[in-house]
Structure 1
Amino acid sequence: MEQNTVKQTDHFLEVVFSYTRWFFLLAACTVYFLNEWQGQLEGHLPFIYLVGFGLLYMGVTQYCLHKCNRESRFYKWMTKGGVIFDLVAYPWLIAVTGGFESPFVPIGYLIVLHAILYWRYMGGVLGAAAVTAGFTGVLAAQGFTFSGTAMMTFMMNTAILFLFAVLGGVIISRERKHYAERVVYEQMAKRDYLTGLYNHRTFQEHLLSFTSGHEPFYLVMGDIDHFKSINDTYGHLTGDRVLKKIGESLKDTNFDGHAYRYGGEEFALIVRTSSEEAVHKLIMQISRDVERRNRPFLPNFKVTLSYGCAPGLNVEPEVLIKQADDKLYKAKARGKNQVAGLGKEPAAYQLVRGKK
């Protein structure tokens, strides 16, 4: 969850940087044509090449930001590569728009900020060094004289740029650290510490949200069969291990909905579907996976669950829980390792075959 939120923020900032580049490209063209455009076309080829280079990269980046999978390698190359593009284009832009007097000198601060976004403190310092080196190289190539007031201005701007890089890196690093800690605390309040599933409190919140909506869903309550026997025979550490394995199975199973540890040895699923068949297939998949995961350390004991299901459309949360619980008790009474609440189940239908 934390990683997804950070990635969404980074994506938004990349979109901002992308549109900022378009703005500065338009501004650079305007400044150049107003102040520099004169003489033969050949004399303006460096600026034309710069504009072409910028249009190509920025066009591809724009497509990538809006069309590509954010987990793809191409997306990561294009976004992080934006810092490299900026570092290459910056001295080029300065060189063709007035050198020391260029109105685009402050863009260096944005480049440093972009580097800080991905590489924190070190990215800011290296970005500042690269911006300064590029700017200095342009001035040296143009025969700029580093003396007097100009030298003082240059040194002051350089010092402020590095200070900006250091402070920006520290601030961003601290902000990300505090955000990560906050997310951890939020997750601790929402999830069960042993299984990693959503806890009872989160279940109640989600169930209220689902029952208040207009989307069909099923509530599935599951309870481990003979769990007391596992604790009494193999010990409570083994019982905890069984709970963890069931949590792993529920987290790894792909379905449209959420899984919860309701309490003790009881679990709950909220499944977005109106299909009894889909719910039955999901329960069969989970049951077989749970038995498979626990088999290596309980070879003589088949770990199974019994399930009670109830459709959740236009039902109050308390009523829905009772309906699913009643079906669960029915499955237990029929011999366990069964599901109740999905149409006409056989009286002794077992989800997982074999000996206990």
Structure 2
Amino acid sequence: MMLRYGPDHKTEMFFSLLRWIFLAIAAIIFYIPSFRHMLSLELRAFSYLFWMGLIYMSITQVCLRWYKQKGRIFTTITYAGVLFDFVAAIWLMILTGGVTSFFFPVAYLIVMHATIYWGKRGSFISVTGIICGYVFIYFYLEQYQYDDKTFFLCLNLSFLVLLGLLGSMLVARERQHHSEKMWFQEAALHDYLSGLPNHRAFQEELQDSIYAKKPFLLIMCDLDHFKAINDQYGHVVGDDVIKHVAVVLKDCAHLAKGQAFRYGGEEFSLLMPLKCKDRLRELLKEAGSRLQNITILDHTFSVTMSFGVAIGTVNQTAQEIVKEADDLLYEAKEAGRNCMVIQNQKNYEVVGF
């Protein structure tokens, strides 16, 4: 079966806790003589289930603690939990009254568990499986006869079907709302044209870099004579230039384990670790070489960029760091463009490409 949503760590922790609670309740009922004799319970058959559950749940707990959420072992163990819950629930119902078992509400949790992971398909399969198990108990183990147990059978199965329908509807709505929320969050933090994180995302990442209390590089980047490209070739070509530059800068930032943003218009920004400062000229020069002789809509031309590089420290605010990098970018423009101006103690250094 193709898994639809995938296991969630918090959800599985919750269901794991419920398993331990039900195991403790069942152990009290079966292993305390007064309860066992009052309910006429068979201890030997329960012992097999108890030790099977204890082993499985201990393994699950280890997986939840040590294995990665998206790992194969974690996924296998957590999905096997739905099957284990089904077997354990049917087993307990057989041992504690069959159709009238007080453990029947566990079936509702199984339906919820399967529905969370597989949506409507999980709801249908889990409800069908429990109905089949329940009917099997009624017809083959209790010898069918029309009495009060028939009423319990119909009542429990009716509630089970209703829960399955309601659960699938709620999960479907929750997944739709979650998808819409993620889409809006993505749209709010990304620039549609370039595909890069936008100005808002840049400000948030800049604040995170400051809170990390580690020095970093802020690079403000601006396309040289971009207005002339728009005027000569049109805005369609200009938009494609923006896209091309975004790809180049994203690759450049990735090599330095940093991140590229579209700051606005033809201006971009890069946040990089301070340790890449020594090879920054090489990285930016490589980026500049990829902007030479680009072809867009049968037009071939070269694009150059200017860069202002500031070193962000823990004693500065976001506004101060951005202003410093912006001032250095202005110096690069004044120095003839197609160059990098980098902060160097109290002075700055102009590095041409």
TM-score surpassing 0.5?
yes
1:161 shift after superposition: 0.7
In 1, are the aligned partners of 2:293 and 2:301 still within 8 Å (CA)?
no
1:99 shift after superposition: 2.4
1:226 shift after superposition: 3.9
> Whole-Å Cα distance in 1 between the matches of residues 298 and 220 of structure 2?
24
Counterpart in the other structure of 2:56: 57
> Whole-Å Cα distance in 2 between the matches of residues 205 and 29 of structure 1?
52
Describe how 1:87-236 pairs up with structure 2 within 5 A.
87-208=86-207, 210-211=209-210, 214-236=213-235
Instruction: State the SS of the aligned residue for 2:301.
Output: coil
State TM-score, norm by structure 2: 0.81
1:107 shift after superposition: 0.3
State TM-score, norm by structure 1: 0.81
1:36 shift after superposition: 4.7
Per-residue displacement from partner, 1:42-80 (whole Å, max 9, x unpaired)?
A: x85543332333233222222222222222233222222
> Whole-Å Cα distance in 1 between the matches of residues 298 and 217 of structure 2?
31
Counterpart in the other structure of 1:11: 9
Per-residue displacement from partner, 1:151-176 (whole Å, max 9, x unpaired)?
A: 11110110111101101111121122
What is the letter of the counterpart of residue 50 of structure 1? L
In 1, are the aligned partners of 2:207 and 2:318 still within 8 Å (CA)?
yes
In 1, are the aligned partners of 2:332 and 2:350 still within 8 Å (CA)?
no
Counterpart in the other structure of 1:73: 72
- What is the RMSD of the two structures over their aligned residues, measured on CA atoms? 3.3
Q: 1:170 to 1:279 in 2, by over 3 A?
A: farther
In 1, are the aligned partners of 2:100 and 2:149 still within 8 Å (CA)?
no
Describe how 1:267-346 pairs up with structure 2 within 5 A.
267-273=268-274, 276-277=277-278, 283=284, 287=288, 291=291, 300-313=300-313, 314-341=315-342, 343=344
Uncovered stretches (5+) of structure 1, i.e. residues with no partner: 1-5, 38-42, 351-356
1:12 shift after superposition: 0.6
Point out the structure with the larger strand share.
2
Uncovered stretches (5+) of structure 2, i.e. residues with no partner: none
> Whole-Å Cα distance in 2 between the matches of residues 17 and 286 of structure 1?
51
What is the number of equivalent residue pairs in this alignment? 338
In 2, are the aligned partners of 1:262 and 1:268 still within 8 Å (CA)?
yes
% identical equivalent positions: 36
Bigger mean CA deviation after superposition, 251-260 or 217-226: 251-260
Q: 1:21 to 1:204 in 2, by over 3 A?
A: same
> Whole-Å Cα distance in 2 between the matches of residues 251 and 51 of structure 1?
55
1:334 shift after superposition: 3.9
In 1, are the aligned partners of 2:343 and 2:349 still within 8 Å (CA)?
no
Bigger mean CA deviation after superposition, 212-221 or 22-31: 212-221
Counterpart in the other structure of 2:31: 33
> Whole-Å Cα distance in 1 between the matches of residues 292 and 125 of structure 2?
52
Counterpart in the other structure of 1:349: 352
> Whole-Å Cα distance in 2 between the matches of residues 191 and 260 of structure 1?
9
In 2, are the aligned partners of 1:271 and 1:279 still within 8 Å (CA)?
no
1:111 shift after superposition: 0.3
1:16 shift after superposition: 0.5
1:346 shift after superposition: 7.9
In 2, are the aligned partners of 1:18 and 1:58 still within 8 Å (CA)?
yes
Instruction: State the SS of the aligned residue for 2:144.
Output: coil
